[in-house]
Amino acid sequence: MKTDIKVVGTTFHPLPEGTLIAVEQEFVTDGVPCAYAQVILVPEPENQYDPEAVKVMVKLNNGAAHQIGHLPAKEPLKVQIAKRQQFLLATCLIKNYTVMGMNPSYHIVEIMGM
């Protein structure tokens, strides 16, 4: 399913020092360095602030998984994903990819299995 969901809360989940996101493709759009990466959308029913929270996890270049943020609270698809109680694979567009340690913009552009 094609979509465009901006990942929120990214400033609370900086990448560990010395790591980068394992990306599939790098490119430039309108002079802005971008990349695509696979992410996992994980329902988080134990979240103390939102039992329908869905966290966004990405694979780092060292093989570790790292949370980069959450789906927005008012995102309609968030509730559907949370109710599934299973993770979903998605594609994430990273804008300003070259500033990975400086809080780039993350957008979910496709969700598989929906």
Q: What is the pLDDT of residues 75-106, one digit of tens each?
A: 999 999 998 889 999 999 999 866 554 568 99
Task: Give this prediction's pTM.
Answer: 0.91
- Residue 67's φ and ψ, nearest 5 degrees, are -80, 130
What is the tens place of the pLDDT at every residue in 40-66?
Answer: 999 999 999 999 999 999 999 999 999
Q: How far apart are CA 60 and CA 13, in angstroms?
A: 13
Q: Is the pLDDT of residue 112 over 90?
A: yes
Reference 59, options 78, 37, 81; nearest CA is: 37
Instruction: Determine the average pLDDT of the residues in 15-24.
Output: 90
